Amino acid sequence: MDIIKQTKNHTCLHCVLAFITNETELYVENWFKNYGENVMLNIKDACLYLVHHGILICTTIRNIDKSIIGHEYVSIIAFDGTPLLIATDSEDFPGCGHVIYWDGKKVYDPNPNTLRTRLSEYTIENAYPITDISDREF
């Protein structure tokens, strides 16, 4: 399956959410239509959208500078095949954030201009494990 490529500079998260839920970039934009035009989404928006669509997004896993370990809680994730929504650096806009999806084996980057293909080519700021819960009984 190919990633949905963003058509606007601010819709990388829209596209990743659309990809995860088998929707379109426009569907996600319309889902958040009450936010207004050209609004960038954040992780709280992603959580709301994904849970509404039967997908659980877990707590963040952060890359934390080793000099501050011990000063705050540190979580470690083994990249063991768990699907992740990943906040990373923007290839086109240095200093800005970007979002990609990793299915446990392959990177799906909504940037239509990307040259990166391997997870090791990204600087991971946050990683959010996701799980499909739509057919689970609790």
Q: What is the CATH number of the domain that holds 32?
A: 3.90.70
- Assigned domain for 6 exists: no
Can you list the pairs that 101-105 forms with residues at least 24 positions away whose Cβ atoms lie under 8 Å? 101/3, 101/16, 101/19, 101/20, 104/79, 104/80, 105/81
- Assigned domain for 1 exists: no
- Assigned domain for 49 exists: yes
Q: How many domains does the chain have?
A: 1
Instruction: Give the residue numbers spanning the domain of 104.
Output: 12-132
- Assigned domain for 55 exists: yes
The answer to whether residue 72 scores a pLDDT higher than 50 is no
Question: In this predicted structure, which of 47-51, 63-67, 118-122 has the lowest mean pLDDT?
Answer: 63-67
- Assigned domain for 124 exists: yes
Residue 131: predicted pLDDT? 80
Closest CA to 110 of 120, 98, 122, 118: 98
Q: Residue 82: which pLDDT band, with cuts at 50, 70 and 90? A: confident
